[in-house]
Amino acid sequence: MDKPGVSVALTAESVAMIPRRAALLAALPLAAQAQQAWPARPISMIAPLAAGSSVDTGRRGPSA
Whether 64 shows a pLDDT value over 60: the answer reads no
pTM of the model: 0.33
Distance CA 31, CA 45 (A): 28
CB within 8 Å of 47: residues ≥ 6 apart: 53, 55, 56, 59
**Average pLDDT over every residue of 27-56:** 75
Express each pLDDT in 10-33 by its tens digit: 788 888 888 888 888 888 777 666
Q: What is the pLDDT of residue 5?
A: 66
Distance CA 4, CA 6 (A): 6
CB atoms within 10 A of CB 55: 13
CB within 8 Å of 50: residues ≥ 6 apart: 56
